[in-house]
Structure 1
Amino acid sequence: MFRGSMVALVTPMNEDESVDYAALERLLEWHIQSGTQAIVAVGTTGESATLDMKEHCDVIRFVVERVNKRIPVIAGTGANSTTEAIQLTQCAKQVGADACLLVTPYYNKPTQEGLYLHHKKIAEAVDIPQILYNVPGRTACDMQPETIGRLAKVANIVGVKEATGDLSRVSKILELVDADFDLYTGDDATAVEFILLGGHGGISVTANVAPDLVAQAYNAALAGDADKTRQLDSPLMELHQKLFVEANPIPVKWAMAEMGLIKPAIRLPLTPLSEPYHDIVRGALIHAGVLS
């Protein structure tokens, strides 16, 4: 359903930690003009864990209204409570999101059967396309390819964001799902290789600072041009790595503030990028050509 570069958009904030809607609107326009092919609002990078339910829904509504069907909007609506995830997913449907991205339940460490029943119940409760999101480095929970294969049979579960960085999972998942089930990567460092192996796109942190370059690299990968893909991705490799020197979205929000895109604000318990990393992240921005 969705292809190419999908930005895991930050939620810009003011100094008092309120959402900076003016900056958010500017970012949306920039991404649309830069070739980003979908907006993922209020995911991990959008600080979903520290927005309350009302803020969460308000940001999704704002993004949907401002994008105005020009590109798809995918709303992050996952939670470690099945009931809460249903409520967030219902909100996303009501405000007009094109799909939802649902992270595996974090902290409570469900079994594979628990993951299956959790996502199945949400899909049956809310009639909107849903994308599974597997990121065990943050959730202490790893959805196995076999569980993804089971869930792919649920009508409105349409894809998975696989953020393990394990490229062997591409072929494993493809063997277990139908041709209309989409595979997206959530690991910037291996994203183009993931797409070249048969993936359909990536939900990218790096796209927050280099949307046009990421879109070009992903489009080349979708076209199967491996040489062009790697050539385009090469200047971005430092960013793919250095934007994770501290927990996401700490480095990327600092980088965007350095570029003048947003204010240098982030919500506790996250804190601004530690000073020893400033030159490291700045150097990666310069290397990629997005900061002089």
Structure 2
Amino acid sequence: MKAKYITPAVTVMDKNGNPDWKGCGKVYEHLIQGGVDGILLLGSIGEFFAFTMSQKKELIRYAVKEIAHRTQLIVGTTSMIFEEIVELSRYAKQEGADAVIILPPFYFPLGADSLENYYGMLAEELSDQLIYLYNFPDRTGYDLTPEITLRLIRNHKNIVGYKDTQPGMDHTRELIKLIKGEFPNFEIYSGFDDNFAHNILAGGDGCIAGLSNLVPQLCHAWVDAFACEDMKKIGRFQQKIDRLMELYQVGTPFVPFIKEAMSIKGIIDSPCSSRPFPVAGEAEKEHIRAILAETDIL
């Protein structure tokens, strides 16, 4: 069975919330050497919301140079300003990124017709670029439904994939059932690591999920287990990921605590995140160490 594991990379920052270029480069190298199938830059765990347009462009330019086409690079270009999405998406293509991924507008939910029209306008403006749709109802407040998605991909061939960040598989499964029969090459990814195996078994393409920042080798081995149809290994990796999912529950939001786990593991030097995100205290650090010890990650 074919499967892909794409990492939405964390953005390493200094104490002032500015990108730490050396740290970011270290993460990209860690992911590539770990065997991930792609890197998503400026996603939710990458704190896209925390950077100015000029910082985003500099980060894109740096990532393209460091990754150097050794793995797929998808860039998050979400903004509440339509023109900024277009500008940043065109910039990403100009610099050499492979595709972009875009959330629906947030704060005010759009109706079904308006949402379809919104993505349709973006697809036309970016007609020479590959676009992934990004559904994250917990952040946007509403759903990019399978029905809207099907209509969009019938009309816009440059819409090539979908990241579905939902805690369960019900919605993703309906998306797969509705779309894959007509568009078998349309890529459908789950946004949480523990849904990876279910996604593949249901006919999807894998995950774009955050734990692969910490354990890219494990995630790559999971992909290989599917390629070999080794159900014993698939089950063993599922159980380890299920235990590691507790990292998402250490604190709210989860981003600083994933970074803290990476810092404890020695992948990054600093777990700093954007303001006003919390900083892990001693109790949270001990909780993280216990999770890593229990799963043999330390």
Query: How does the TM-score come out when normalised to structure 1?
Result: 0.93
Q: Partner of 1:48 in structure 2? A: 48
Q: CA deviation at 1:224?
A: 4.5
Closer, same or farther: CA 16–32 of 1 in aligned 2, 3 Å: same
1:176 is aligned to 2:185: no
> Which runs of structure 2 are paired with 1:221-240 in the superposition (5 Å)?
221=226, 224-240=229-245
Of the candidates 173, 193, 199, which is equivalent to residue 194 of structure 1? 199
Q: CA deviation at 1:234?
A: 1.4
Superimposed CA distance per residue, residues 26-50 of structure 1 (whole angstroms, 9 cap, x where no aligned partner): 1111111111110111110111011
Distance 2:281 2:151 in 1: 42
1:289 is aligned to 2:289: no
For the Cα contact (< 8 Å) 1:196–1:226, is it kept in 2? no
Superimposed CA distance per residue, residues 210-249 of structure 1 (whole angstroms, 9 cap, x where no aligned partner): 0100121133245554432121221222222323432131
Of the candidates 249, 252, 256, which is equivalent to residue 258 of structure 2? 252
For the Cα contact (< 8 Å) 1:220–1:229, is it kept in 2? yes
Q: CA deviation at 1:12?
A: 0.2
Distance 1:235 1:264 in 2: 23
Distance 1:150 1:6 in 2: 26
Closer, same or farther: CA 222–78 of 1 in aligned 2, 3 Å: farther
Q: Partner of 1:272 in structure 2? A: 279
Superposed CA RMSD: 1.8
User: Percentage identity across aligned positions?
Assistant: 28
Report SS of the residue matched to 1:45: coil
Which residue identity lines up with residue 175 of structure 1 in the other structure? K
Distance 2:228 2:191 in 1: 20
For the Cα contact (< 8 Å) 2:194–2:238, is it kept in 1? no
> Which runs of structure 2 are paired with 1:1-292 in the superposition (5 Å)?
4-126=4-126, 127-153=128-154, 154-177=156-179, 178-221=183-226, 224-245=229-250, 246-262=252-268, 263-291=270-298
Count, aligned residues: 290
Distance 1:254 1:148 in 2: 36
Distance 1:198 1:204 in 2: 18
Closer, same or farther: CA 3–61 of 1 in aligned 2, 3 Å: farther
Which residue identity lines up with residue 159 of structure 2 in the other structure? I
For the Cα contact (< 8 Å) 1:214–1:233, is it kept in 2? no
Distance 1:223 1:80 in 2: 43
Report SS of the residue matched to 1:243: helix
Report SS of the residue matched to 1:159: strand
Closer, same or farther: CA 137–225 of 1 in aligned 2, 3 Å: farther
Distance 1:222 1:120 in 2: 35
**Greater displacement, 203-212 / 110-119:** 110-119
Closer, same or farther: CA 116–227 of 1 in aligned 2, 3 Å: farther
Which residue identity lines up with residue 261 of structure 1 in the other structure? I
Distance 1:119 1:174 in 2: 20
For the Cα contact (< 8 Å) 2:150–2:178, is it kept in 1? yes
For the Cα contact (< 8 Å) 1:109–1:141, is it kept in 2? yes
Instruction: Give the unaligned 5+ runs of structure 1.
Output: none
Distance 2:44 2:220 in 1: 20
Which residue identity lines up with residue 252 of structure 1 in the other structure? I
Q: CA deviation at 1:3?
A: 5.1
Which residue identity lines up with residue 37 of structure 2 in the other structure? Q
For the Cα contact (< 8 Å) 2:43–2:75, is it kept in 1? yes
